[in-house]
A and B are shown apart, each in its own frame.
Chain A
Amino acid sequence: MTNEALLSSPIGLLTLALVAIIAHEPFRWLGLYLGHGLEADSEIFVWVRAVATALVAGLVTRLVMFPVGALEGVALWMRLGALASGIAIFFIRGRHLGAGVSGGAAVLLIFQYATQ
């Protein structure tokens, strides 16, 4: 089956459910089950946190530098500039998540209109 079918067909629903049940949901169940004997702040989870953080940071640069969809039509400098602006606004506004996110997206819009 092609990936397009996976993304849009009813069989894709089943596949998504399987991925969730096999690769994702067990960690929630395990958290319930392990309850005793394992501390949430034990060393292994410090490592887990670092791994998840690095993975998501890698995902961010993949999405921004090598987008697959419509974002591809926006110049790379605009994408990187908007990302940097979002980070700057986030810190200037005292680590304000909403301000950084909407500010970054707004800068991307402005870039596009300014260069049209």
Chain B
Amino acid sequence: MNTLDGDRGEPTRGRGLQAFSAGLRLSLSTPAAILLGSAAGFGALANDAGMSLLNAVFMMGVLFALPAQVVMLDSLARGGSLIAGGLAVALTGVRLLPMTLSMLPLLRRGRLRWRILASHYIAVTAWLEGMRHLPSVAPADRLTTFLGIGTGMFASSLIGTAIGFQLAGSVPASLAAALLFLTPIYFLLSLMAAARQAMDGLAIVIGALLGPVLYLLVPGLDLFLTGIIGGTAAYVLGKKLSAFEAEDDA
């Protein structure tokens, strides 16, 4: 009977609930645990920067992408302008476009408002999990299942933020420092884990070296410029390198 429903593409309410809770269950995985931990790191950082608990949790929910959150938070904490922070936030947000685009074939069926909600859940962790699990889900259930995965991840990231926020304010200073350290080490290792080509490695090294220099030269716009200049340099060098290797092979 389920297959018949799937063929017509009109999931019943009960079936939708089933697909949603299947997604929720999928979201309770190792990546979600890492997400909880990294959200806790963000919560600690937010507390340290003088943010209120409500604003920190709200920021987690409304941006739902840690790099954008940390860029904004850290820039404001340094006394930077909202515009400069927003520019850097936008630059981290562009990478969500190809992610949403590549996921679209899996989420084509469904009402627009649910697809818009699904697109809000697109950030590295939920995206990876969706791409991993959705192909084996019946096409009519994919959007609902992804809403389940996303909702689970969303909830654990909000809870993680609140936990990290409270911990940072109540543990000894050395432990709080270790909590604050979670964000940079998590970001760096995530970049390394996601690196597939020479270009990715180049972008990490160039960005890491260029960042501090530009911070001292042009504070405020440093991250924006590190992205544009460092990323373009890595792109060009990476292209040259792969062309060189192709020549070598021939």
| Residues of A participating in the B interface, judged by any CB pair closer than 8 Å | 3-4, 6-9, 12-13, 15-17, 19-20, 22-32, 34-35, 38-41, 45-71, 73-74, 79, 82-83, 86-87, 90, 95, 97-98, 100-101, 104-106, 108-109, 112-113
Between A and B, 28 residue pairs with Cβ closer than 8 Å are: A6-B82, A16-B72, A27-B96, A32-B115, A32-B116, A47-B235, A49-B98, A50-B202, A50-B232, A51-B91, A51-B227, A53-B191, A55-B67, A55-B227, A56-B92, A56-B187, A56-B207, A57-B203, A57-B205, A57-B211, A58-B214, A59-B211, A68-B48, A71-B48, A87-B188, A101-B34, A101-B185, A101-B189
Tell me whether B222 and A58 are in contact (CB under 8 A): yes
Give the CA-CA distance A20 to B59 in the complex, in Å.
9
Whether the Cβ atoms of B230 and A31 lie closer than 8 Å is no
Give me 20 other A-B pairs in contact (C-beta within 8 A), A22-B86, A31-B97, A55-B227 excluded.
A7-B49, A7-B50, A17-B58, A31-B104, A47-B231, A53-B203, A56-B191, A57-B188, A57-B204, A57-B208, A60-B184, A61-B212, A62-B74, A69-B48, A71-B48, A90-B193, A98-B30, A98-B34, A101-B189, A105-B178
Q: Is the interface of B mostly helix, strand, loop or mixed?
A: helix
Cα A105 to Cα B196 with chains together (Å): 26
Question: Do B180 and A70 touch (CB < 8 A)?
Answer: yes
Q: Are A20 and B63 in contact (CB under 8 A)?
A: yes
Inter-chain contacts of B79 with A (CB < 8 A): 3
Residues of B within 8 A of A (CB): 30, 34, 37-38, 45-46, 48-52, 54-55, 58-59, 62-63, 65, 67-68, 70-74, 76-80, 82, 85-104, 108, 115-116, 119-120, 122, 173-193, 195, 199-200, 202-212, 214-215, 222-224, 226-235, 238
How far apart sit A10 and B235, CA to CA, in the bound complex (Å)?
Answer: 41
Closest to A91 in B: B192
B3–chain A nearest beta-carbon distance, Å? 27
Contact B76 A54 (CB under 8 A): no
Instruction: Report the Cα distance A95→B193, complex, angstroms.
Output: 6
Alpha-carbon separation in the docked complex, A41 to B93 (Å):
17
Instruction: Write the nearest CB–CB distance from B89 to chain A, whole angstroms.
Output: 5
Are A53 and B90 in contact, CB atoms less than 8 angstroms apart? no
Given known contacts A29-B116, A79-B181, A108-B177, is B65 in contact with A24 (CB within 8 Å)?
yes
A48–B178 alpha-carbon span in the complex (Å) = 32
- B180: which A residues are within 8 A, CB to CB? 67, 69-71
Given A3-B77, A53-B231, A87-B189, A61–B211 Cβ distance below 8 Å?
yes
